[in-house]
Amino acid sequence: MQQHRTEGLAFTKEPFIADGGPCRIESIQFSMMFGEEIMKAAEVQVYRARYYDGRGVPSEGGLLDCRMGPANKKASKCTTCHGDFGDCPGHYGYVNLALPVYNVGYMATILNILNRPPPSSDEEEDARGLHARRQRASTISSSEAAKPQEASQPLGPLQFQMLLYLVALPAFEGSQRM
């Protein structure tokens, strides 16, 4: 079985089996990769919007570039790990974006926010005062403090700007670093 190694990581289709017997996991963390990390893990930059060239061969720099693995069982071997369709685990490619792209998973939330009435500075001051009073009050139960805001309640200007920033941040940072 062919393996592809990248800085101590082995990419293979075989399951990982620890050598030392059972282990206790103390913590685990998941995160998204951004710009430079994606480029380090990738084998190829996809810069052509073509699958095949004129001869029916996967286009270099295209969506089926052979450096990302064989496209099907009939295709030739992977040019990265030299594995066939069954042995090659597949390798990453990346697309360098010229502009930020919003995550479509957040579009309903963005539209909901944009359809709300515009926030006013009076509402923002009222919200800050309410938040400060709630923090000072020691009688508020944790369940009451954890209640989400109703959808019809407008956001303050700062909350609105922060939400739009957070929604666009992953795509924006990824496109800026590439």
Express each pLDDT in 29-78 by its tens digit.
888 788 888 888 899 999 998 888 888 888 899 989 999 998 888 878 89
| List of domains in the chain | 1-96 (4.10.860.120), 104-177 (no CATH)
pLDDT value, residue 23: 79
* DSSP bridge pairs for 9: 6
pLDDT value, residue 172: 44
Cβ distance 12 to 91 under 8 Å?
no
d(CA 95, CA 125): 44
Express each pLDDT in 89-102 by its tens digit.
889 899 988 887 77
Residue with tokens 């996809």: 46
Select the more confidently predicted residue: 151 or 65. 65
Residue 167: which residues within 8 A CB-CB, separation 6 or more? 102, 103, 106, 109, 110
d(CA 178, CA 174): 7
Amino acid identity at 170: P
Average the pLDDT over each of 33-42, 50-59, 108-117, 164-173 and give the range with the smallest value.
164-173
The chain-wide mean pLDDT, for the chain, equals: 72
Residue 148: pLDDT over 50: no
pLDDT band at 129 (very low <50, low <70, confident <90, very high): low
d(CA 64, CA 73): 13
Question: 10 Å Cβ neighbour count for 128?
Answer: 12
